[in-house]
Amino acid sequence: MSAPAVVVNGVSHRNGRWHDLVDLTERGLADLADLAALSRGGLSRYSVFDRPVREYFADCASDSLHTAGVEPSTVDAALFFSSTFSSYDDHGDLTALCRELGMQKALPVGLFQAQCSNFSYALMIAASLIRTQGMRTVLLLGADALDESRAGRLLPAAASVFSDTVLSCVVSTDATDGYAVEHIGHQVEHELSALDPVQHTLRFMDLFAARLERLCADTYARTGAGPQDFSHLVLANLALPVLRNYAGVADIPFARVPTGNIAAFGHCFAYDQLITLATLAEAEEISAGQLALVLGIGANHLFSSTVLRKL
């Protein structure tokens, strides 16, 4: 008897106040050349929270549970993931959320290491909890709000601009709609973490492309699905030239890369791919049975590949 499918659904997200890109130059966070590069890349705005990020948690998580048809009391674990809250300022927030929403038995779990690939690490851990620990339902909650006094809102080489975001979704074995998890794989290229992309450009590009190519090849070998079998290649909201390069390495036509959310959202840290998957489903741009290849790259050296089948 085969194990029940692990399914992702109930994606909900919250953003802050939207700012036009020109605001970056007015605040001295980018110059005109950066602004032009962002615009050419398809970017148009970014989000900044104007109230404490934790104030978005309950509303977002409640929406996910309601959409997924999940009773809070049945949630087995609540998994928090973030890049900007790497030390998680208040360790009581997640427990307080569980108490507030009635998730009495939910085990609180935290994940911080993988930066913009945190979403796939969270999916991996949630799937593992379900498949090996007897759990049935895991709530994922991600939150990132940039502290501009500590980090730049503009990505290097004007590849994108960070947008403050809170996202939640449900991973369970009971759902009949959403995306079934067919495969999750991760690889790391440690040397990339020690290279400066500007000072060691050629070495950096060679290692980066080679690792991404190996990740895709491994995914195709393990799943038996080739580039031709994926209806969509889901990537982060980065500038269009960057995404074209990724699609080329994956050997998937760029026409299969959804790009509509780039202008709408900017780069929502680790949440771009999940938001795009929800957008595709809501717009009925992906059909039951179709496969999506979801690639994530965190901190330029943590690579992830997730294969999802639309239910």
Q: List the CATH code of the domain at 7-172.
A: 3.40.47.10
Task: Tell me what pLDDT residue 3 has.
Answer: 77
Local structure of 76: helix, strand or coil: coil
Task: Tell me what pLDDT residue 114 has.
Answer: 86
Local structure of 7: helix, strand or coil: strand
Mean pLDDT, residues 59-75 taken together? 98
Helices and strands per DSSP (H, E), number in the chain: 10, 11
Name residue 47's amino acid.
S
Mean pLDDT, residues 179-183 taken together? 98
Average pLDDT of the residues of the chain: 95
What are the extents of the domains in the chain? 7-172, 179-310
Superfamily of domain 179-310: Thiolase/Chalcone synthase (3.40.47.10)
pLDDT tens per residue across span 102-147? 999 999 999 988 899 999 999 999 999 999 999 999 999 999 999 9
The b/e string for 56-92 (b: 16+ C-beta within 10 A; e otherwise) is: bbeebbbbbbebbebebeebbbbbbbbbbbeeeeeee
Are the C-beta atoms of residues 160 and 237 closer than 8 Å to each other?
A: yes
Name residue 222's amino acid.
R
Phi, psi for residue 147 in degrees, rounded to 5 = -90, 100
% residues pLDDT > 70 (the chain)? 97
Give me 222's structure tokens.
């393990």
| Separation of CA 95 from chain center | 23
Task: Tell me what pLDDT residue 92 has.
Answer: 79
- Which of 278, 71, 59 lies closest to 177 in space, CA to CA? 278
At 264, the pLDDT band (50, 70, 90 cuts) reads: very high
Is pLDDT of 262 > 70?
yes
Q: For the chain, where are the alpha helices, taking DSSP H only?
A: 22-26, 32-40, 57-68, 92-101, 118-132, 190-193, 201-223, 240-250, 260-265, 272-282
Running DSSP on this structure, what letter comes out for residue 161? B
pLDDT tens per residue across span 231-255? 999 999 999 999 999 999 999 999 9
7-172 against 179-310: fold identical: yes
* Residue 311: other Cβ atoms inside 10 A: 16
Predicted structure pTM score: 0.96
- Which of 243, 294, 293 lies closest to 270 in space, CA to CA? 294
Angle between helices 92-101 and 57-68 (to 10 degrees): 50
Give me 289's structure tokens.
């049975």
